[in-house]
Structure 1
Amino acid sequence: MSSKTEKVAAEEFLAMLLQYSRDFHYNHINFSVRLNRNPAYTRQVMNVMLKRISKKYGDDERLYVSMTADEATAILALINNLKEEMFANFSKKITWSTDLLVRESQEFGYRQIRERDQYNNLEFEILL
């Protein structure tokens, strides 16, 4: 058995996440990344929460996935590349195009909730 952690395919994960959130009318995707190197708290994890604020469909908040930070490095790198492209174009939203999406493109925005702190924790939100 291999001791290396399996990395999640970033494009497929993001496409499934965006498709699921659109199908079930979620309008906020919250990424909470705990990269805490504190010896007393060694768990390094990324949680993805879906949040819906809607009068028509009702308010809801649920955990979509929780994975170790090592498995999520490709996902974070993809989102960072999209964020950099958005900021380079001085726009509030970016359109991501891929064949993995049913509609082939998705527009979303990025909002930083919390900057990296002393323990390297990070929290941001994708707005649909």
Structure 2
Amino acid sequence: MATNKSKIDPERFLAMLLQYSRDSHYNHINVSVRLNRNPAYTRQVMNIKLKRISKKFGNDERFYVSMTAEEAKKFLSLINHLKEDMFANFAKKITWHTELLERAQQEFGYHQIRERDQYNNLEFELLL
């Protein structure tokens, strides 16, 4: 059976994303899943942008990664699972425990920017 090596490890990817964001003082991680509207080419693409809004370190916006939604579906599933746990516990922030982070625990907020629409577009923000 062939394995698809293009899929990412969701926990490792989220840990790297959170670590890089914290080390570079970014406080907003914007994730958008968009449907490419070219009729001959209809795959979904996930883009991640990092934003810094800070008087001390200055404002900045940086493109982090782009990948197909097929490659990122486990990452999106992990985020959805963390979000559901947050809402089930009536918490204001997500607390994620993992050995992959230097500090073993990360707390971050979740903000839905756009619900899934007719084109299956989705946009949300993780607030550090």
Q: Give me the TM-score of the superposition, normalised by structure 2.
A: 0.92
- Secondary structure at 2:99 match in 1: coil
Matched, 1:111 2:88: no
- CA offsets, 1:73-101, max 9 Å, x none? 01000000000000001111011010000
C-alpha distance in 1, partners of 2:37/2:49?
Answer: 23
Greater displacement, 101-110 / 29-38: 29-38
1:53 and 2:53 aligned: yes
Q: Kindly report which structure 2 residues correspond to 1:73-88, keeping only aligned pairs within 5 A, or say none.
A: 73-88=73-88
* Residue of structure 2 equivalent to 1:21: 21
Q: Which runs of 5+ in 2 are unaligned?
A: none
In the TM superposition, residue 59 of structure 1 has moved relative to its aligned partner by 0.2
Which position in structure 1 is the counterpart of 2:71? 71
After the TM superposition, which parts of structure 1 deviate over 2 Å for at least 4 consecutive aligned residues?
2-5, 35-41
Q: How does 1:22-37 map to 2 (within 5 A)?
A: 22-35=22-35
Matched residues in 2 for 1:40 and 1:62: separation? 30
Q: Which SS does the other structure have where 1:71 is aligned?
A: helix
Q: What percentage of aligned pairs have identical amino acids? A: 76
Residue in 2 aligned with 1:90?
A: 90
Q: TM-score, normalised by structure 1?
A: 0.92
Q: Which amino acid aligns with 2:78?
A: L
SS in 2 for 1:19: helix
Question: What secondary structure sits across from 2:91 in the alignment?
Answer: coil
**Unpaired runs of at least 5, structure 1:** none
Distance of aligned partners of 1:63 and 1:20 in 2 relative to their CA distance in 1, 3 Å threshold:
same
Q: Tell me, yes or no, if the aligned pair for 1:35 and 1:69 is still in contact at 8 Å.
A: no
User: Please, what is the CA RMSD of the aligned residues?
Assistant: 1.8
- Over residues 16-42 of structure 1, what are the superposed CA-to-partner deviations in whole Å (9 max), with x where a residue is unaligned? 000000001000000010145773552
One-letter amino acid of the counterpart of residue 29, structure 1: I
